[in-house]
Structure 1
């Protein structure tokens, strides 16, 4: 692996880690967020509503992939990267400063869901874009190994969110954390996004994209070409329901639902629960690179 390839993988992965950090903060703090923005209902219902708002981010991710995938095919991977991370970072910061239900009423959960939708759109474009960008820089026989680093970003982003939440809990104390300090991890994302944007500004455009652009062979209608023929749609459906859906169910059940079950059902101390999940993530992450 050359120094340029290492830089590309590092910069792409780091930015995607920060995006997952932003996306997963909400999931990690669903119980706390539910009490802040859905306080008009009982605690159990508030938690369910908070999870539904979390799900809203997933509902729009395919549309984010379509929008930003098309943008990446038209103007390039690098600039699409910058748009998605700025959208994600801004949305996460705004969640951190958003007034609660007690302050502005029903407007609070409505704005929260809107911000979750923006996060989902941004992540839908970022994750696939990062994998494409790295794959287009990788030698043909090393694409699995190189893009495996992008696959680690979801786990590392979740791990980072747990560490920041844990640190904030320990420093501020549980009472202050539940009251106002839960906002700190969201506001902290401004620093992470600034670092990522600065690093990504130094990257060059994908050589594959530049070659296609120079030869005038870039697609004029990427979505139509991808989904206009059954042979392409068939591959998409096989990938989506034959591979990715099952993998996603296992991943989210093993990480998020495990965390929710520990804290909400078994009533395990949140600090202990975070440490247990963080340890599991730390053990599992190297396996992604190994199998890639």
Structure 2
């Protein structure tokens, strides 16, 4: 697709259109609020809906249910993108908002696993799928709508306000969760208070639908419709013709895949890492994340504005490259700041599992049939995984009992073969007590000490991670809009965006924690975003065109 050279003449945004753009973005905040509530409450939801399996598996399954909403986003993009290119931008994202709001409200009413058994997680996943379909349809419409209202030379700035909505939605959900958690206390919140943020979405839905109904249709779409130039087969035009499909692939692998993993690593994985791995209590984690997001959010506007002057490509690719290089040192620094006792213990008394690796299971059991109590190696690793202790693996002779070395101390796990159930449980309990005492003596904390957390440093690190998010995400909507012709823009831009963010990004927490559970190293999950962000920076450097001077009225 050739560059259009100097920006073609475009209508100037009126004051009313600016208000309409603001209203559009405000409505989008609600949809992200809905979607992110689940991610914030993953640990609580794990206990409520996945209590039928071991704790490590339950948390990974809770993240998998979180990811299920992302998995179907590309299908929502196809379905609603087609409708948006045929019928219009406005009414399409009114429908998606209604689906999102009602699905979120229903989560707050779901019975727990203790009440209805396996039906509870099944219903939860179904509601997540509905949310994902709705979100798959709304973003492309909102981005296209705002871009088609924006004046020349300001598309990056105007769409960057839309880009803030994801973070502002997360921020809003954080504030509400923190408020309810503080008011009720941890026990009441864990028992029933977690439902209130979901139920509150009913009020937000009514307000947001009213806001969206005040909007006018995009002037570009109105012009196309009046001239009879709207696409009759947007899916065929978008994906059945190589001259457009190649730009869908370039957008995905040269920009969106990297943007997605940087976004979810910098916001969600950092949140999960603090709470699940570093053992910082949930309320403190939410507050620290909220402060960092509040500081970093203006970065979306800055980088959107900057992309109108120097281009979209250098900012997005630089953000991907910096993230790939910085994640290991940033997350290691986060450990030292948030749980210094854990960092010291890892340095002075590293843990190694010495075992016959052929008799070790991956510490993930999606069907709940492996209690990790039948083999010596599994007993050792299951305890360490539950305790969030990072460990290395060392081979042992075949058939040897697994040993856990903590610094210079060694604890031998029981070999339960031939033991009865009662004898096996007693042997495991003795081993866990002994290993727990050794870990405690070596300085491994059961929880992060609130008084020892270097909160300013934690906020600084989280802000650095969030600023990388603003680099890659601030200009992305303008880039995607400018890549594709107006008659199939909604469909064409929605699919790479939601494949990237739904699949590459949405599965990041699940994949990263599964890697950690499989390898034992708490930092190994970072290889997932590092590899994808690095590959995007390289691919985009060679194949992604610069778009910021293009005419979008074609």
Is 1:282 matched with 2:297? no
1 CA distance for matches of 2:23 and 2:231?
A: 27
Is 1:108 matched with 2:120? yes
Shift of 1:15: 1.2
Secondary structure, counterpart of 1:140 in structure 2? coil
Structure 2, unaligned runs of 5 or more: 1-12, 305-554
Is 1:142 matched with 2:154? yes
Structure 2 residue aligned with 1:241 = 253
Shift of 1:215: 1.0
2 CA distance for matches of 1:90 and 1:37?
A: 20
Which of 18, 30, 40 is matched with 2:52 structurally? 40
1:120-151 Cα deviation digits (max 9, x unpaired): 11111111110001111111322111111111
1 CA distance for matches of 2:133 and 2:296?
A: 27
Which of 5, 15, 28 is matched with 2:17 structurally? 5
1 CA distance for matches of 2:152 and 2:220?
A: 12
2 CA distance for matches of 1:208 and 1:15?
A: 21
Superposed counterparts of 1:225-236, under 5 Å: 225-236=237-248
- Who wins on radius of gyration, i.e. which is larger? 2
Structure 2 residue aligned with 1:221 = 233
Structure 2 residue aligned with 1:192 = 204
Which of 167, 174, 182 is matched with 2:194 structurally? 182
2 CA distance for matches of 1:284 and 1:238?
A: 29
1 CA distance for matches of 2:242 and 2:93?
A: 30
Shift of 1:5: 2.2
1:206-241 Cα deviation digits (max 9, x unpaired): 111111111111101001101111121111111111
Which of 263, 269, 294 is matched with 1:257 structurally? 269
Superposition misfits of 4+ residues, deviation over 6 angstroms = none
CA RMSD of aligned residues (A): 1.0
2 CA distance for matches of 1:152 and 1:2?
A: 22
Shift of 1:270: 1.3
Is 1:129 matched with 2:141? yes
1:246-289 Cα deviation digits (max 9, x unpaired): 11111111111111111111111211111111111112111111
Structure 1 residue aligned with 2:166 = 154
Secondary structure, counterpart of 1:137 in structure 2? coil
Shift of 1:191: 1.0
Which of 59, 63, 68 is matched with 2:80 structurally? 68
Structure 1 length as normaliser, TM-score?
A: 0.98
Structure 2 residue aligned with 1:269 = 281
137-146 or 15-24, larger mean C-alpha shift = 137-146
1 CA distance for matches of 2:136 and 2:296?
A: 24
Shift of 1:163: 0.6
Structure 1 residue aligned with 2:373 = none
Contact 2:77/2:133 (<8 A) preserved:
yes
1 CA distance for matches of 2:61 and 2:38?
A: 12
Secondary structure, counterpart of 2:231 in structure 1? coil
Structure 1, unaligned runs of 5 or more: none
Shift of 1:42: 1.7
Structure 1 residue aligned with 2:37 = 25
Which of 13, 16, 25 is matched with 2:28 structurally? 16
Secondary structure, counterpart of 1:141 in structure 2? coil
1 CA distance for matches of 2:286 and 2:14?
A: 37
Higher share in helix: 1
2 CA distance for matches of 1:42 and 1:177?
A: 22
181-190 or 233-242, larger mean C-alpha shift = 233-242
Is 1:203 matched with 2:220? no
Shift of 1:174: 0.4
Superposed counterparts of 1:161-180, under 5 Å: 161-180=173-192
2 CA distance for matches of 1:121 and 1:161?
A: 20
2 CA distance for matches of 1:43 and 1:7?
A: 48
2 CA distance for matches of 1:3 and 1:92?
A: 34
Structure 2 residue aligned with 1:118 = 130
User: Number of matched residues?
Assistant: 292
